[in-house]
Chains A and B, each alone.
Chain A
Amino acid sequence: GQNIDQPTEMTATEGAIVQINCTYQTSGFNGLFWYQQHAGEAPTFLSYNVLDGLEEKGRFSSFLSRSKGYSYLLLKELQMKDSASYLCAVRDGKGGADGLTFGKGTHLIIQP
């Protein structure tokens, strides 16, 4: 079956850098997405990788290695508002061509 793994919880300090890893084993692959979700709110789209390499968007970057089944989300210059859950999702062909399978999410705690 589809398997997407990410750490359950991480803690980091305001102003620092944190890397959230995601490994996946899926029967299909057509892109990997990262979402941010604050408690009780809807997930919001952060980044998309379909080719190997690094995509940078301001303080957030995402990396993909398809051969390793591995991605990470890098958050720089951490702010208190970055405290949230971060969801890794793979477009794997399950649930239709645009279906996403989500990891369980990484709860990121930012400390002053």
Chain B
Amino acid sequence: EAQVTQNPRYLITVTGKKLTVTCSQNMNHEYMSWYRQDPGLGLRQIYYSMNVEVTDKGDVPEGYKVSRKEKRNFPLILESPSPNQTSLYFCASTPRGGGDGYTFGSGTRLTVV
């Protein structure tokens, strides 16, 4: 089944404890992206990648890192999480220039206390 697999679904952590949210797609998509979704603010792009070893900042990159060592994987790293990073996170992928839209992962609800 074509999908984007994102883990974990739920995570509660403490301020400053490094964490990684994994994202993997099996559709051979070139483009992958991370979004966070907050009430009243909608989906905002954190980082994106247009292909292997090519990543760039989105609208809200502060406090996050990503890597794209393989085409299928695009992990999101929070080196030192803070409470303002409490949010619902989505990974998404799409083929280049297509009209099929993004395929989203199931989401990760992160709480930083």
Measuring CB to CB, which residues of chain A are less than 8 angstroms from any residue of chain B?
A: 31, 33, 35, 40-45, 48, 50, 87, 89, 94-105
Q: CA–CA, A48 to B98, complex, Å? A: 10
Tell me which of A48, A50, A96, A103 has the highest count of chain B C-beta atoms within 10 A of its own C-beta: A96
A43 to B90, Cβ gap below 8 A? yes
Total interface residues on B, using CB and 8 Å? 31
Residues of B near A98 (CB, < 8 A) are 30-31, 50, 94, 96-98
Inter-chain contact total with CB atoms closer than 8 Å = 69
Which 6 residue pairs are nearest across A and B when measured between Cβ atoms? A45-B101, A104-B42, A42-B104, A102-B43, A98-B31, A48-B99
Residues of A near B105 (CB, < 8 A) are 42
Q: CA–CA, A35 to B104, complex, Å? A: 11
Name the contact of A35 in the complex, choosing from B33, B88, B101, B107 (C-beta under 8 A): B101
Can you spell out 27 A-B residue pairs with CB atoms less than 8 angstroms apart? A31-B99, A33-B101, A35-B101, A40-B88, A40-B107, A42-B104, A42-B105, A42-B106, A43-B90, A45-B100, A45-B102, A48-B100, A48-B101, A94-B45, A94-B59, A96-B48, A96-B50, A97-B97, A98-B31, A98-B97, A99-B33, A99-B45, A99-B58, A100-B102, A102-B42, A104-B40, A105-B42
